[in-house]
């Protein structure tokens, strides 16, 4: 039964509060569920998850929930925070560091969905492809 199989592989852990923590959790998860994934795809997932967590910490008061779930051909990363403000694209200024996170996530992920939950915050779900 595919649904049951996938739910056993889902990982929900105490929310990481740094990009480093998020990458380490994700790296271990990918080793367990997609050990033969292409290195470039794994790097894209690690960069994406790091940016999602960093953005939640910097702009939304921290991560309130963190979920990794394998999907056919990839992985879904869900990062929740307490803010109901949607992520937004900012004008890139070469003289000012930062501003690339949301743009990177949208470029690397095959799908990004932002769900607002009034009174609880938002969840950003990003699907990343993983080839063998």
CATH code at 52?
3.30.565.10
- How many domains in the chain? 1
Cα separation, 131 vs 34, whole angstroms: 9
The parent domain of residue 24 ranges over: 2-129
The pTM of this model reads: 0.87
Instruction: List CB contacts of 80: < 8 A, sequence separation 6 or more.
Output: 15, 56, 63, 64, 65, 66, 121, 122, 123, 124
DSSP H/E element including 67: strand 63-71
pLDDT tens per residue across all 132 residues of the chain: 344 444 457 877 889 999 999 999 999 999 999 999 999 999 999 999 999 999 999 999 999 999 999 999 999 999 999 999 998 777 767 776 667 889 999 999 999 999 999 889 999 999 999 998
């Amino acid at each position: 039964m595919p649904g049951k199989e996938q739910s056993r592989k889902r990982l929900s852990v105490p929310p990481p509060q740094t990009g480093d923590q998020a990458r380490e959790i994700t790296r271990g998860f990918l080793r367990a569920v997609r050990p033969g994934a292409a290195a470039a795809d794994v790097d894209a997932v690690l960069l994406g998850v790091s940016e999602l967590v960093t953005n939640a910490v910097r702009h939304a008061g921290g991560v309130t929930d963190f979920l990794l779930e394998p999907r056919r051909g990839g992985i879904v990363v869900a990062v929740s925070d307490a803010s109901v403000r949607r992520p937004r694209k900012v004008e890139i200024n070469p003289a000012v560091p930062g501003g690339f996170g949301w743009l990177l996530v949208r470029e690397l992920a095959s799908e990004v969905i932002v769900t607002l939950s009034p009174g609880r915050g938002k969840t950003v779900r990003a699907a990343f492809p993983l080839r063998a």
